[in-house]
Amino acid sequence: MKILDVQGLRKNFGGLAATADVDFHVDQGEIVGLIGPNGAGKTTLFNLISGAITPDAGIIMFKDKKVSGLKPYRICRAGIARTFQSVQIFPKMSVFNHVVIGLLFGDHRHTTSASTTEEVSQIIEFVGLSGMNELRAADLTLANQKRLEVARALATQPELLLLDEVMAGLNPTEVAEAMELVRKIRDKGITVIMIEHVMKAIMAICDRVIVLHHGEKLAEGKPEEITRNQSVIEVYLGEFTCLPSET
Amino acid sequence: MKDKTKKYSLFAGFIVILLLLISLPSYASSYRVIFVTNILMYVILTLSWVIFSGPTGYISLATAAFFGIGVYTSAVLSGTLSLPFVIIIGALASFCLAFVVGSLTLRLRGMYFTMFTFALVQLISNFAHWYEVNVTGTVGRLVLALDSTIIYYSILVVFCLVLLASHFIKRSKFGLALQSIGESEEAAAHSGINVTLVKVTTFAISAFFMGAVGAVMTMRWSYVDPPTAFDIRLSFMPLLMAIFGGMGNLFSPIIGSSIFAYLEEILTTKFPYYYMLLFGGAMLLVIVFMPHGIEGVFRKLQKNNKGQLSEKP
């Protein structure tokens, strides 16, 4: 079943098409990887889906309802949560309150602050931040700040989660933990789209990969198909294999 | 345990101060009562300014505009309605204006928002002047002056209300949303917070109390015209007082504005010619040596105390 359906999506910045007539869909329960060289329009695509910017043309359907053009908070409450490429936390706020915010505002079923404490603790434990409830977000390590973003997003009870480079800047152990977390999220029944440069992670956990290049969809398919796709190798993987190793 | 006793003693201290304030007219001269009324006016303006600008970090200079709207509403209605109604209508007028202005301009950020709010005061003040010259034909209005004790108690009621409002906003889900907006507006929006609505509503609530003070203070002046009603000094004072006191908790802005307003009153009466000079000098010293205000000084003292304690074996 399609949970997200994007048709003819276009966004221009000045004369540059950051997203050029992109069509794709995501099925319920999938983990879809979104890859492409820098400037390919991956984050722009996330910004369009989450409502941070409005498309110039095209339509985004979420669970058969049009969400393109809605304000970010409406899209969040509809069930699409996201994280940010450069972490967007509330530096002086406690870990606990980050999750409270997600629960109270993002989840349309919640109207009162009662009975949330337990749910908050569950979410914090789920992402692996237990024992850090009262720490200020600014005092966490980068890996934990990224987990906190995921926790806040999960608190809004999403059905679709957009992860924008949750593994960038993490060490190999942390990457492995993050991969495990993404799998656990999917096992909860949440569909995931992830932008990632860590190819090891993409290959290991994604059911399907979409490749963007200059704002256009270049290829789409199973991870092993993508690695064999000639045009992908030319624009992207060719360049990528030159790097000594992913960090 | 310690936090709880601290909380109770703070609360008890507050009740004592409140009782002292309530009984003030019975033991103090009417000059003292007017003096305290003035200080309370500044305290209320500062507290209501902090309701919005404290957590969000949007620096508003529109205080004088909302205060002035309260003043004018009250001047127009004076003598026709009973005092509580006049105050409420004045406050609501400010609330509505802030709501409209906020919806239009709260997409501006940082400097641009500040400049706009500054211009708003001039705009409304000049509009009122133009209106009086061209439509009513008389500049300024006479107001039925009220007894200073009545004014004092009205101000005291507004003070208690703004204190309660600040307290509940701070502790509520709404306050959490405000804080998140101040720290990362983008993330707040993507966490399901209707950022615009929260900002505009808070801006309007803070204007509500500014309008209420304005409506009360009118009764003290007996004559109002646009320059007195929309005095731009009233835009800067709450900002300076909040910086002087600190904005981390409810007590800091109250203490800051009380001391500041007290100093101002003393300096204007004792040194009418040098007061601005002394004031400017004092402000400079505060900014250089107490960048986090009185609150920052206290926090430093606390830290030092703790440090000494832990050093002991």
- pLDDT tens digit string along B228-264? 899 998 999 899 889 888 888 888 889 889 988 888 8
A241/A162 same-domain check: yes
Q: Does A49 touch chain B (CB under 8 A)?
A: no
State the average pLDDT for chain A: 88
Among residues A157, A172, A192, which one ends one of the domains? A157
Q: Is the predicted pLDDT of residue A241 greater than 60, yes or no? A: no
B190 CA to chain A: closest CA distance, Å? 5
CB of A232 within 8 A of CB of A226? Answer: yes
Specify burial of residue B141 (Cβ count, 10 A radius: 0-12, 13-18, 19+).
buried
A112/A178 same-domain check: no
Strand duo A160-164 + A80-82: pairing:
parallel
d(CA B182, CA B184) in angstroms, rounded, equals 6
A54/A176 same-domain check: yes
**Helix or strand holding residue A8 (H, E):** strand A2-13
Who among A52, A76, A90 is closest to B192 (CB)?
A76
A170/A242 same-domain check: yes
Q: Would A72 be classed as within a structural domain? A: no
Q: What is the mean pLDDT of residues A65-82?
A: 93
Q: What is the pLDDT of residue B107?
A: 81
Who among A93, A104, A107 is closest to B173 (CB)?
A104
For residue B267, how many other CB atoms are within 10 A of its CB?
17
User: B-chain residues within 8 Å CB-CB of A81?
Assistant: 190-191
Among residues A116, A139, A157, which one ends one of the domains? A157
Who among B176, B187, B190 is closest to A100 (CB)?
B176
Specify burial of residue A244 (Cβ count, 10 A radius: 0-12, 13-18, 19+).
exposed
Q: Cβ of A50 and B190 within 8 Å?
A: yes
Taking every pair of Cα atoms in chain A, the longest distance, rounded to a whole number of angstroms, is: 56
B241 CA to chain A: closest CA distance, Å? 23
Q: Work out the angle at residue B180's Cα, subtended by the Cα atoms of residues A174 and A136, and round it to the nearest 5 degrees.
A: 45
Q: Does B184 touch chain A (CB under 8 A)?
A: yes
A11/A53 same-domain check: yes
Q: Is the predicted pLDDT of residue A108 greater than 70, yes or no? A: no
Among residues A109, A124, A157, which one ends one of the domains? A157
**What's A15's domain CATH number?**
3.40.50.300
Q: What is the mean pLDDT of residues A37-49?
A: 90
Q: Could you state, in order of their start, the residue ranges of all structural domains in chain B?
A: 29-244
Percentage of chain A exceeding pLDDT 90: 61
- Position B127 confidence tier, pLDDT thresholds 50, 70, 90: very high
**Residue A140 domain boundaries:** 89-157
Kindly indicate whether the ipTM for this predicted assembly is greater than 0.95, answering yes or no.
no
Question: Dihedral of CA B129/B134/B138/B143: which sign?
Answer: negative
